[in-house]
Structures are given as structure tokens and as C-alpha cells.
């Protein structure tokens, strides 16, 4: 607040100095030139020194408002960016499911810059404009009220013109913002998937898609510049007309001995103090549209209430034993009518190894995502160690759960930084131990710089199996009592799968483990296998029990391993169907 007040003070002081300097010129031309030569020179020197002092003060005022004012606005931008980023961290998966990364990025960068520029320059420009307009009119009125009225007669129509186009500019700028966000989203999506684009040789397809968005952006900018051109050319026209009116009317008054020539010169000097505020207001209106559009988009996100929050009485979860209970759990995604999961009842004992199989879309990943509260159940309850997960703080709940996914996400940086993400306070020795437990140490040491090798964005310099083992090392370092493997080996080749599977089995020792599996060979040793369908849990049991049942699981297993499919089985399935 103090920086803002100082900024306003120096803005006002600088504007006042600009009003004083033309008066010094008027005094010289109106009075000093008629003094005796010696006295005139002394007066001119005194006024010159005074003018230099005022110019130095004006320099200081401009320096303060430019440097410290922008520092203030950058700090404001910094605080808003931190607030918005922190708010992103609070929002659940359901929010990000409906958003494009490019749109969210533009709110953190472009929008916030425009907001900070508005709040820095907006009040400053308004105050300076008002001071110069009111001050100029007052001074000119006392010099010659007739010419003063002429000088300000065009201000009302200029204002009306600005108001009229202001409404159009607001619409255009808002549309322009959306187009910028769409372009950002399209670029982000293309660059993130550039390997897919090239693998399908679809560069031309992407160019055509981008051209549609780029053409829309170009048209939006065209409309933007059309309104801006109408605005600025109109104001410039009013400014030129104002100068011409002052000269013509002033000339008439001079011929009638109602205005000294020196006063006409003063009037022309002050015309700049009349038109400059108008120009500032032109810039301000553009800035206002940008800033307010960004401000509306900022608050649009800030006002989104997180749909998953800690309850007021949430407790801090200590290390879990690992018992998980589903009590009549149903779930549906927002704005959908059909349940993904319906009335699921399930008990998982501490240390149990449970596998989930079933066709895509039956809710295997969703069921696992409900345990760490990535999504909130629509009805029913999920209990961990006998307490509803909604009664734990989210941070402590998720600290007890480790997740290894099919699509591994590694951050830019080196190997050690990515493993340390599992526990930021871990020592280098603990990281190396976790890598050894994940069967990752040997391949890491073969990299050019070992644990300090840069892996590129999203780990592009590593193979799929290597990335997966680093993600497993990350979970080893975290050391959670509950594990979720979401098709962690389905995208790997057979050799990599065996290495990663060995690491996963070591990680699962003495932990409650849920495995979403596509390859049934990886879950034969599970203590329980659940077969999910659209109706819920169709079958459950060990591998041997389910094979004996000769149901869905047995059919799927035999399809994956034809050597187990005998002629008798064909007859049984034919009768069953």
C-alpha cells in the first residue's frame, strides 16, 4: 500500500510540474522580454535554473513511477500468480478433466501481466489525466475564458466517442482472450504429442488443424485492430481539430485586441496538456479491456470451489495398517447420468494382494482413484483402517498410498531429482537404495552421468522400462503401506516386463496392493482376483479357484494363453454360450 501511495504522490507531482512549465514560458514572453537587457538576462537565468530544477524533479518522479511502480506491479503479479498456482493445486481431477493445459497456462501468464499493468498504470494515468485536464482548463480560463471554452468544447464529444467504442472494445477483447487461450492449448497439445504426430506422418493434418485456430485468431485480431483504429484515429482527429480551432479563434481574438500573441502561444503549449490526457485515456481503455478481461478470468478460476476438501474435523493419518473397505460405493462423473460404479461392497485385508481385471470402461481405475480421494464417491463410503477416507486430511491420506501408473510422468531434470520426488527430504544414500530395490541402479549407473544424467522433458531420453523402474524407485523411497499398480507393465516388451514385474513384486511385499492388470500372467500369484463388469464385481477368488469356476476369468485367461485351451473347453464354452 505504501508503494502505491508513493507512486501516486510522484505521479501527481510530475503532472503538476508539467502544468507549471508553460506558465514560465508565458512569463518570459509576456513580461521578461519587456525588461531592460541586464535585468531581463538575470530573470531569464533565474527562470532557466528554476526550469532545470523542475525538470530534474520531473525526472525523479518519472523514474520512481516507472521503476518502483513497475516493481510494485510485478510484485502484485507475483502474488496473484502464486495464489492462482496454489489454487490449481487444490482443485480435483474432475476440474482438470474438463480443462486444456494451454488455457490454464494463459491465465497464469498473459492474463496476470495485463492485470498488473492495469492496476499499476490505471490509477496513475487516471489521476494524471484528471490533474492535467482540470489544471489546464483552470489556468487557461484565467488567461482567457473565451479561448478556454473553445479549447475544451471538444472534450465532451471526445468522451462520448470513447464511451461508445469502449463497449465494442470490451466485446472484442474478451473474444480475443478466448482465441489466445485456444491457440495456446492447441500448441501445447501438438508439442506434447509431437512424437505421435511424426510417427503417423500427420504434420500436414496438424498444420491444417492449427490453421483453423490461427485463422480464427487472426480474424479476432482484425476486429480488434479495426475497433482500435476507429478509436485512435477518432481521438487523433479530435486533437488536430482542437489545435486548428485554438489557432483560428485565437487569431480572431488577436485581431480584435482581446488576446495577446503570447497568450496564444501559451494556449498552444497547454493544448498538449489537454490532448495528452486524452491519449492516455485511449491507452487506458485498451489496457482496461485487457486487464479486466484477465481479471474476470482470474476470478473465474479463484471462485471455483474445490469439490474435494478436508473436513473441519479431519485427522492426520499416521502410517496405515492397510485395511480397505468399500461400503455400498457408487460413483458417477459430474454432468453424467450413468454410474461408473454402482453399490460396490469390498473388503481388502492388510497386506493382501488384490488384482482387478475387466474390459475397459467398467471402472477399475476409477475404483482405485476413489481410495486416495482423487474423486469423491457419489454415495456410500470408503474406509481405510476403519475410518472414512473423508475424515483424513488429503495430504496424510495420500502420503500413505503409492501409485505406479502405465503412463509414467517424469519431470525435467536428472534421475536423482525424479526419484527424490517420492520423498523430498531423502538423502542421496536413501535414493540409491530405493533405485537398487527397484532394479534401476545398474542401468542408472550406465547413463553418461549416472544419477545426475538429465533425462529430458517427461524422460524422453529413457526407454519405457527405464522410466517405469524410476517411478517404482520413487514409490520405494516413499515407502507407503498401500500400493496401486494401474496397468504398470502393459505397455512394456516382454523383457522389460519381467524386470519391472520383479521390481513390483518386491515393492508389494508386506503392503496392501491393488493391481489393475491387462496381462493376466502378471497376477496369477494374487491372493484374490476381482473380475469387474458394468454390473459390478462378477467373480472373485484366486487364479486356481477362478479357473475351476470356468467363468469369465477362465475364458479371458485361455484367450491370452491358447496352450491352455483344450477341445473339452471349447465344447463347454459352446454350451455355455
Q: Residue 34's pLDDT is what?
A: 64
Beta pairing class for 324-331 and 379-384: antiparallel
Widest CA span of the chain, in angstroms? 130
**Range scoring the smallest mean pLDDT among 97-111, 290-304, 477-491:** 97-111
Q: Residue 33's pLDDT is what?
A: 62
For helices 155-192 and 261-302, what crossing angle results, to 10°? 40
For 212-258, write each residue's pLDDT tens digit.
888 888 888 888 888 888 877 887 788 788 888 888 888 888 888 88
Helix (H) or strand (E) holding 170: helix 155-192
For 432-478, the three-class secondary structure string (H helix, E strand, C coil) is: HHHHHHCCCHHHHHCCCCHHHCECCHHHCCCCHHHHHHHHHHHHHHH
When pLDDT is cut at 50, 70 and 90, the band that residue 267 belongs to is confident
Residue whose cell numbers read 498401500: 482
- Range from 83-87, 103-107, 449-453 that averages highest in pLDDT: 449-453
Higher pLDDT, 229 or 347: 347
**570 pLDDT more than 50:** no
Residues 6+ apart with CB under 8 A from 128: 11, 12, 14, 15, 277, 280
Query: Percent of the chain scored above 70 by pLDDT?
Result: 93
Query: Percent of the chain scored above 90 by pLDDT?
Result: 16
Question: Mean pLDDT over residues 14-29, rounded?
Answer: 80
Helix count and strand count (H, E) for the chain:
21, 10
For 436-484, write each residue's pLDDT tens digit.
888 889 889 999 999 999 988 778 888 888 888 888 888 889 989 998 9
Cα angle: 500, vertex 503, 504; to 5 degrees: 90
Q: How many CB atoms lie within 10 A of CB 511?
A: 19
* Contact in structure between 264 and 169 (CB atoms under 8 Å): no
Burial 165-185 (b: 16+ CB within 10 A, else e): bbeebbebbebbbbbbbbbbb
Per-residue CA distances from 524 to 53, 63, 353, 509 (Å): 89, 74, 11, 16
When pLDDT is cut at 50, 70 and 90, the band that residue 566 belongs to is very low
**101 pLDDT more than 80:** no
Q: Residue 328's pLDDT is what?
A: 93
Per-residue CA distances from 82 to 28, 86, 160, 364 (Å): 55, 6, 40, 35
Q: Residue 99's pLDDT is what?
A: 76
How long is the chain? Answer: 577
C-alpha to C-alpha distance for 382 and 368, rounded to whole angstroms: 11
Sign of the dihedral through C-alpha 332, 336, 337, 338: negative
C-alpha to C-alpha distance for 515 and 523, rounded to whole angstroms: 8
* Contact in structure between 453 and 398 (CB atoms under 8 Å): no
* Contact in structure between 172 and 223 (CB atoms under 8 Å): yes
Residue whose cell numbers read 488536430: 240
Q: Which cell numbers hold the place of 280?
A: 492516455
**If you average pLDDT over every residue of the chain, what do you get?**
82
For residue 393, report the phi and psi dihedrals to the nearest 5 degrees: -70, 145
For 23-54, write each residue's pLDDT tens digit.
887 777 777 766 677 787 888 888 888 889 98
**DSSP state, residue 67:** I
C-alpha to C-alpha distance for 64 and 77, rounded to whole angstroms: 19
C-alpha to C-alpha distance for 510 and 493, rounded to whole angstroms: 28
Beta pairing class for 536-541 and 379-384: unpaired
C-alpha to C-alpha distance for 9 and 316, rounded to whole angstroms: 50
Sign of the dihedral through C-alpha 191, 197, 203, 206: negative
**390 pLDDT more than 50:** yes
**75 pLDDT more than 90:** no
When pLDDT is cut at 50, 70 and 90, the band that residue 195 belongs to is low
Higher pLDDT, 501 or 329: 329
**DSSP state, residue 315:** B
Question: Mean pLDDT over residues 7-13, rounded?
Answer: 82
Q: Which cell numbers hold the place of 372?
A: 486416495
Higher pLDDT, 496 or 520: 520
C-alpha to C-alpha distance for 294 and 206, rounded to whole angstroms: 29
Residue whose cell numbers read 488576446: 259
Q: Residue 575's pLDDT is what?
A: 34
* Contact in structure between 9 and 242 (CB atoms under 8 Å): no
CA nearest 252: which of 143, 136, 150, 138? 150
Domains of the chain: 80-302 (1.20.1560.10)
Q: How many CB atoms lie within 10 A of CB 506?
A: 13
Residue whose cell numbers read 493382501: 352
Residues 6+ apart with CB under 8 A from 505: 525
**DSSP state, residue 306:** P
Per-residue CA distances from 84 to 91, 97, 98, 241 (Å): 11, 18, 18, 47
When pLDDT is cut at 50, 70 and 90, the band that residue 572 belongs to is very low
When pLDDT is cut at 50, 70 and 90, the band that residue 568 belongs to is very low
Per-residue CA distances from 198 to 195, 203, 460 (Å): 5, 7, 15
For 499-535, write each residue's pLDDT tens digit.
777 877 888 888 999 998 877 877 888 889 999 888 7
**136 pLDDT more than 80:** yes
What is the three-class DSSP state of 485? Answer: strand
* Contact in structure between 116 and 77 (CB atoms under 8 Å): yes
Q: Which cell numbers hold the place of 576?
A: 455355455
C-alpha to C-alpha distance for 92 and 318, rounded to whole angstroms: 23
**536 pLDDT more than 70:** yes
Reported in sequence order, the residue ranges of 287-363 that DSSP labels E, i.e. its strands, are 324-331, 341-348, 353-357
Amino acid at each position: 500500500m505504501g508503494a502505491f501511495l508513493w507512486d501516486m504522490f510522484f505521479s501527481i507531482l510530475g503532472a503538476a510540474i508539467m502544468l507549471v512549465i508553460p506558465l514560465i514560458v508565458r512569463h518570459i514572453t509576456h513580461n521578461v522580454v519587456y525588461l531592460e537587457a541586464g535585468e531581463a538576462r538575470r530573470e531569464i537565468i533565474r527562470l532557466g535554473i528554476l526550469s532545470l530544477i523542475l525538470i530534474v524533479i520531473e525526472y525523479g518522479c518519472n523514474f520512481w513511477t516507472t521503476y518502483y511502480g513497475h516493481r510494485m506491479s510485478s510484485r502484485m503479479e507475483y502474488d496473484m500468480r502464486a495464489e492462482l498456482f496454489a489454487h490449481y493445486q487444490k482443485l480435483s481431477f474432475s476440474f482438470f478433466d474438463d480443462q486444456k493445459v494451454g488455457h490454464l497456462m494463459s491465465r497464469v501468464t498473459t492474463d496476470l501481466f495485463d492485470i498488473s499493468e492495469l492496476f499499476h498504470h490505471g490509477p496513475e494515468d487516471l489521476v494524471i489525466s484528471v490533474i492535467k485536464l482540470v489544471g489546464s482548463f483552470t489556468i487557461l480560463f484565467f488567461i482567457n475564458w473565451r479561448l478556454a471554452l473553445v479549447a475544451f468544447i471538444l472534450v465532451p464529444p471526445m468522451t462520448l466517442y470513447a464511451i461508445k467504442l469502449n463497449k465494442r472494445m470490451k466485446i472484442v477483447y474478451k473474444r480475443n482472450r478466448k482465441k489466445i487461450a485456444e491457440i495456446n492449448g492447441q500448441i501445447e497439445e501438438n508439442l506434447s504429442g509431437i512424437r505421435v504426430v511424426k510417427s503417423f506422418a500427420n504434420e500436414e493434418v496438424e498444420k491444417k488443424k492449427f490453421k483453423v485456430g490461427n485463422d480464427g485468431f487472426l480474424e479476432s485480431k482484425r476486429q480488434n485492430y479495426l475497433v482500435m483504429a476507429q478509436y485512435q484515429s477518432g481521438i487523433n482527429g479530435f486533437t488536430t481539430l482542437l489545435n486548428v480551432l485554438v489557432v483560428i479563434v485565437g487569431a480572431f481574438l488577436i485581431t480584435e485586441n482581446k488576446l495577446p500573441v503570447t497568450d496564444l502561444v501559451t494556449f498552444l503549449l497547454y493544448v498538449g496538456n489537454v490532448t495528452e490526457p486524452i491519449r492516455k485515456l485511449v491507452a487506458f481503455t485498451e489496457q482496461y479491456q485487457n486487464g479486466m478481461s484477465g481479471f474476470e478470468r482470474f476470478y473465474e478460476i479463484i471462485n471455483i470451489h474445490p469439490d474435494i476438501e478436508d473436513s473441519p474435523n479431519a485427522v492426520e493419518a499416521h502410517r496405515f495398517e492397510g485395511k480397505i473397505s468399500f461400503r455400498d460405493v457408487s460413483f458417477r462423473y459430474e454432468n453424467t447420468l450413468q454410474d461408473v460404479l454402482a453399490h460396490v461392497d469390498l473388503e481388502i485385508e492388510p497386506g493382501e494382494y488384490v488384482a482387478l481385471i475387466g474390459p475397459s470402461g467398467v471402472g477399475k481405475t476409477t475404483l482405485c482413484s476413489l481410495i486416495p480421494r482423487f474423486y469423491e464417491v457419489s454415495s456410500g463410503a470408503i474406509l481405510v483402517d476403519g475410518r472414512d477416507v473423508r475424515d483424513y486430511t488429503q495430504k496424510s491420506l495420500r502420503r500413505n498410498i503409492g501409485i505406479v501408473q502405465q503412463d509414467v510422468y517424469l519431470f525435467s531434470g536428472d534421475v536423482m531429482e525424479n526419484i527424490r520426488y517420492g520423498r523430498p527430504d531423502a538423502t542421496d544414500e536413501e535414493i540409491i537404495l530405493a533405485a537398487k530395490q527397484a532394479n534401476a541402479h545398474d542401468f542408472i549407473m550406465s547413463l553418461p552421468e549416472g544419477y545426475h544424467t538429465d533425462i529430458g522433458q517427461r524422460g524422453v531420453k529413457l526407454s519405457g522400462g527405464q522410466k517405469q523402474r524410476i517411478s517404482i524407485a520413487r514409490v520405494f523411497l516413499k515407502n507407503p503401506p498401500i500400493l496401486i499398480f494401474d496397468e504398470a507393465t502393459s505397455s512394456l516388451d516382454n523383457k522389460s516386463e519381467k524386470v519391472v514385474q520383479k521390481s513390483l513384486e518386491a515393492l508389494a511385499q508386506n503392503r496392501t496392493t491393488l493391481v489393475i492388470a491387462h496381462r493376466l500372467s502378471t497376477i496369477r500369484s494374487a491372493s484374490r482376483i476381482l473380475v469387474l463388469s458394468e454390473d459390478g464385481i462378477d467373480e472373485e477368488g484366486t487364479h486356481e479357484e477362478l479357473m475351476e469356476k470356468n467363468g469369465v476369468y477362465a475364458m479371458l485367461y485361455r484367450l491370452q494363453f491358447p496352450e491352455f485351451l483344450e477341445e473339452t473347453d471349447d465344447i463347454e464354452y459352446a454350451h455355455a454360450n
